[in-house]
Amino acid sequence: MFKSYMGMQIVKAAVDENKSFDQQKLKERLHNNTLCAKDHPGIILDVHYDENNDIDKQTYIVKVVNEKHTVTDVLPPLHPEWFTNCKK
């Protein structure tokens, strides 16, 4: 569910920046680009798409005990330097 939400919010952010729903422009906007949560309220996490359009972001390790979710660890992005403009 979370991945679907984030995917739609990322598309919305790119479309808003492009002011167009053109697929080629959407691809070009995401390619080698960082979207910061501070600039796009619907995006919960800062995300970056690299030259291969692979995503980089923080990752949360969650443990479920007695039907309760607990974040046990937070893994930083592989390339934190891509997120320097996202600092609040």
Conformation bin of residue 86: beta by default, left when phi > 0, alpha when psi is -120 to 50: alpha
Instruction: Give the Cα separation of 8 and 15 in Å (integer).
Output: 10
What does DSSP assign to residue 43?
Answer: -
Residue with tokens 């619907």: 42
Please provide residue 23's backbone torsions phi and psi, each rounded to the nearest 5 degrees: -65, -40
What does the block give as tokens for 35? Answer: 């979207």
Alpha helices for the chain (secondary structure H): 2-18, 23-30
> pLDDT for 17-44, tens place per residue?
999 889 999 888 999 999 999 999 889 9
1 has pLDDT over 70: no
SS3 of 38, please? coil
Instruction: With cut-offs at 50, 70 and 90, classify the pLDDT of residue 69.
Output: very high
**Full-model pTM:** 0.81
